[in-house]
Amino acid sequence: MKNLILLLTLAVTFASCADKEAPVNVQQLNQQFIGAWNNRNATVLDSLLADDVSFVQGEIHFNGKAEVSEKWVDETLGTIADLKTNVVSSGTDSEIAYEAGTFSVDVLPSGPGEPAGEGEGNFMLLWKKQKNGAWKLSYAQLEDLPVEVKNN
């Protein structure tokens, strides 16, 4: 009887370990996103967005992949360069992952003879595992400080 209980305990333990997936590497997801942004690769950025993605920046709020892609990615991609993040908080489980912290960017001149700028603020990127197992950006929130003229 003791052997049967021991055998059942071991079987349950091994079965529960086999069912658990390793959490996603959220740093790798965000680096893929930042790399695509810095390379101005809208195709890769679009492929990382969930169909129901939301974007919030102050009073601005966009919903859905088409709107977020058009009004955030496409409108902003050519206006900034050298996106960098400093992560303050992160977390993962089998279904969601996030990173939050501060960011900085170079703001490109809006026209000839215009100055370049420096932008910074806070960010939060939330990733969700999709039904097909792919991880997609589900929520992005930015809180910007006013852009400052860049000193050369």
What's the pLDDT score for residue 68?
A: 97
15 located within any domain: no
Task: Give me the number of domains the chain comprises.
Answer: 1
What's the pLDDT score for residue 23?
A: 73
6 located within any domain: no
35 located within any domain: yes
82 located within any domain: yes
129 located within any domain: yes
Cα dihedral value 50, 56, 127, 135, nearest 10:
20
Domain of 49, CATH number, reads: 3.10.450.50
Which of 55-74 are b and which e, b meaning 16 or more Cβ less than 10 Å from the residue's Cβ? bbbeeeebeebeebbeebbe
What's the pLDDT score for residue 152?
A: 64
Say if residues 85 and 30 touch (Cβ distance below 8 Å).
yes
User: For each of the chain's 152 residues, which pLDDT tens digit applies?
Assistant: 444 343 334 444 444 444 456 678 999 999 999 999 999 999 999 999 999 999 999 999 999 999 999 999 999 999 999 999 999 999 999 999 999 999 999 999 988 888 999 999 999 999 999 999 999 999 999 999 888 988 76
Look up the domain containing 106 and give its range: 22-149
What's the pLDDT score for residue 35?
A: 96
What's the pLDDT score for residue 134?
A: 95
5 located within any domain: no
pTM of the model: 0.81
2 located within any domain: no
3 located within any domain: no
What's the pLDDT score for residue 138?
A: 97
What's the pLDDT score for residue 139?
A: 97
Reported as type and span, the H/E element at residue 51 is: strand 49-57
What's the pLDDT score for residue 151?
A: 77
What's the pLDDT score for residue 15?
A: 45
